[in-house]
Structure 1
Amino acid sequence: MCSDCQSGDTIIDVRKIAPRLRHPMIFNAFENLSAGEAFVIVNDHDPKPLHYQFAAEYPGTFDWVYEQQGPEVWQVRVSRTAA
Structure 2
Amino acid sequence: MGETLDVRDIPPSDRHPKIHAAFEALAAGETLTIVNDHEPKPLFYEFQAEVESFDADGYEVEQASPNEFRAHFPKH
Common topology (TM > 0.5)? yes
Residue among 41, 51, 59 paired with 2:44: 51
Q: Which residue of 2 aligns with 1:31?
A: 24
The reply on whether 1:10 has 2:3 as its aligned counterpart is yes
- Gaps in structure 2 of 5+ consecutive residues: none
Q: Which residue of structure 2 aligns with residue 77 of structure 1?
A: 72
Does the CA contact (< 8 Å) of 2:33 and 2:72 recur in 1?
A: yes
Cα deviation code 1:26-63 (max 9, x no counterpart): 01111111110112100111110000100110246323
* Structure 1 unmatched ranges of 5 or more: 1-7
Contact 2:35 2:71 in 1 (8 A): yes
Of 60-69 and 49-58, the range deviating more from structure 2 = 60-69
Percent identity between the two aligned chains: 43
Q: Confirm or deny that 1:68 pairs with 2:58.
A: no
So what's the TM-score if we normalise by structure 1?
0.77
Aligned residues, how many? 74
What is the TM-score when the length of structure 2 is the normalising length? 0.83
